[in-house]
Amino acid sequence: MQRLNKVAAMLATIVAAGGTPALVSAQDATPVKVGVVTFLSGPAASPFGVPARNSAEVVIERLNEGKGPGAYSTKGFGGAPIQAVIIDEAGSTTTQVTEYRNLVQRSNVDVVIGYVSSGNCLAIAPVAEELKKLTNFFDCGTPRIFEDGSYKYVFRTSPTATMDSVGAALYIKDAKPKLKSIAGINQNYAWGQDSWSDFEAAMKQLVPGVQIKTSQMPKLFAGQFNTEISTLLGANADVIHSSFYDGDLEALLLQAAPRGLFKKSTGILTTGETAMYKLAAQIPDGTVIGARGPFGPYAPKNELSTWFLKEFQDRYQVPPNYASFQMAQAILGVKAAWEKAQAANGGKRPTNEQVATALENLTFEGPGGTVRMSNGKGHQAIMETVYGMSKVVGGKMTVTNVKRYPAEKVNPPEGVKSGEWIAGGFKR
C-alpha cells in the first residue's frame, strides 16, 4: 500500500510537469469546500438568487462527475470533489458579514463564491482580506471595489456596471441619433448610483448638450414606484435608463406598462434579460435589453455555452439567465486557477495564496466567452458587452438589432477610474 501511494504521487508529479493539471492522489482527495452565497429568499431570489444557486448545483455536480467540457474535464477541482455550502444572502450587510465569518471560521470553507448585492460586496471585501480567504464575487457590479481598494484575496470574474452603462450609452446613441433628453430610475445604493452616474456621464460625452430631465432614486426593494413613474411621464424624456434588478425590475415593469411609460419613452433596461421572458407582455417592442455582458440570449455559440445551456435546461426546463451564467463563470474561473496553481505546486493541493496568485491576471474561457482578469491589478474581469432590442414574435420574446462592443471599448484601462475614463472621452 505504501508503495502504491508513492507511485501515485510520482505519477501526479510527472503529469503536472507536462503542463496538465494533475489529479490529486487518493490520500489528498479531501473535498474542496466552497461557500456559495446568493439570495434564496426575498425579492431578489426568484430572478437572481435561485437561478444562480441552480447554476452552482448543476455545474458542481457535473464537474464532480468529470463531465465538464474541454479544459474543464478534470473531476472537481484538480481531482478533489467540490462540496458546496450554500448560504442565503438575504438580510442586512451586517448579517452577511456575520454569515461570511461563519463560513470561514466555523464551516472552514476553502473558497467563497457569491454576492448579488453591491452593498454586500463592498462590506465583505475588507473582511475577506482580513481573514485571508479567497473570495470571488460572481455578480455585484459596483466598480468601487477595486477602484477604491486593493486586495490580495478578493476577485470578481464578472465585469462592472461601467461596462453596462457605457455599452448602453453607445447603443442608444446609435439607435436614436436624434435623441435630445434622458432620464433615469435607479436604486438608491452603490449599484444604482454608479450605474446612473456612468450612463449620464457617457451620454454627455457622446451627445453634447443632452438634457437630463430627471433622475429618480427610490430605495432598494421599495416595490412601489407610482410616484416615480408619474415624474418620468411628466419629464417626457426620449430615453429612460434603469439598472433595476430583482423584484424592483419586475414591479417597475408591471406598474409602468398600464401607464405606457416605456411606449412614451424608450426604455434601457441594463439587466432586462432576467425579466424578458416572464414579463414579455409588459415590455414594449423596441426596449433596449441588457444582460450584463455576453450572457443569456447574447452568449456566443461555443463549446462551453452549448454545454452549460444543455445542462441547465435539461435540469430545470428553463433557459439560464445572466445570473446563472455568471455563477457558472465564477466556478470555472476558480477551477482554472486552482488547477493552474496545483500544476505549479507539483500536483499537490494548492494553498489559498497559490490559487489567488494563479487567478491574478488569468485569462480563461467561460460560457459567455473570453474572460480577462486584467483590471484591478489583475483581480477584476473585463469582457465584451452586448445589447439588443426587445421584439415579441409568435408570442415569444426575442432580441433584434443586436450589437456587440469589444471589452476595450466599454471598460477603462487598468489603473484608471471609471469616472475619470468617461470624463476624459474614453481614452486608452
Say which residues have a Cβ less than 8 Å from residue 74's Cβ, sequence separation at least 6: 21, 23, 66, 68, 335, 339
126/274 same-domain check: no
Residue 341 falls inside a structural domain: yes
Residue identified by cell 455576453 is 294
Residue 428 falls inside a structural domain: no
Q: What is the pLDDT of residues 81-133, one digit of tens each?
A: 999 999 999 999 999 999 999 999 999 999 999 999 999 999 999 999 999 99
Residue 316: what pLDDT?
96
Q: Share the mean pLDDT of the chain.
A: 92
221/237 same-domain check: yes
The mean pLDDT of 69-74, rounded to a whole number, is: 96
140/212 same-domain check: no
Residue 206 belongs to domain spanning = 162-297+384-423
217/253 same-domain check: yes
247 falls in which pLDDT band (50, 70, 90)?
confident
335/397 same-domain check: no
Residue 93 falls inside a structural domain: yes
Model's pTM, two decimal places? 0.91
Task: Check pLDDT > 80 for residue 291.
Answer: yes
74/148 same-domain check: yes
CA atoms within 13 A on the CB side of 357: 11
Q: What is the pLDDT of residues 151-188, one digit of tens each?
A: 999 999 999 999 999 999 999 999 999 999 999 999 99
Percent of residues, the chain, with pLDDT higher than 90: 88
The mean pLDDT of 44-61, rounded to a whole number, is: 95
Residue type, 59: V
6 falls in which pLDDT band (50, 70, 90)?
very low
Question: For the chain, how many structural domains are there in total?
Answer: 2
User: What is the C-alpha separation between 247 and 250, in angstroms, rounded?
Assistant: 5
In whole angstroms, how far apart are CA 125 and each of 189, 312, 338?
A: 17, 30, 20
292/418 same-domain check: yes
CB 215 within 8 A of CB 200: yes
Residue 230: what pLDDT?
98
Strands (E), 26-151: 32-38, 82-88, 111-114, 135-137
Residue 208 falls inside a structural domain: yes
Residue 265: what pLDDT?
98
Cell numbers given for 169: 450609452
Give bridge partners of residue 388 from the DSSP assignment. 289
Task: Check pLDDT > 60 for residue 16.
Answer: no
User: What is the C-alpha separation between 65 and 17, in angstroms, rounded?
Assistant: 25
44 falls in which pLDDT band (50, 70, 90)?
confident
Residue identified by cell 503536472 is 16
Percent of residues, the chain, with pLDDT higher than 70: 93
Residue 369 falls inside a structural domain: yes
Three-state DSSP at 86 gives strand
User: What is the C-alpha separation between 292 and 158, in angstroms, rounded?
Assistant: 9
Residue 41 falls inside a structural domain: yes
Residue 10: what pLDDT?
36
153/23 same-domain check: yes
Q: Of 384, 376, 379, nearest to 413 (Cα)?
A: 376
Cell numbers given for 126: 475588507
255/342 same-domain check: no
Q: What is the pLDDT of residues 318-372, one digit of tens each?
A: 999 999 999 999 999 999 999 999 999 999 999 999 999 999 999 999 999 999 9
Residue 47: what pLDDT?
87
166/293 same-domain check: yes
Residue identified by cell 510527472 is 14
CB 314 within 8 A of CB 338: no
Residue 246: what pLDDT?
82
Task: Check pLDDT > 70 for residue 249.
Answer: yes
28 falls in which pLDDT band (50, 70, 90)?
low
366/406 same-domain check: no
CATH at residue 214: 3.40.50.2300
Residue 265 falls inside a structural domain: yes
Cell numbers given for 50: 435561485
135/238 same-domain check: no
The mean pLDDT of 145-153, rounded to a whole number, is: 96
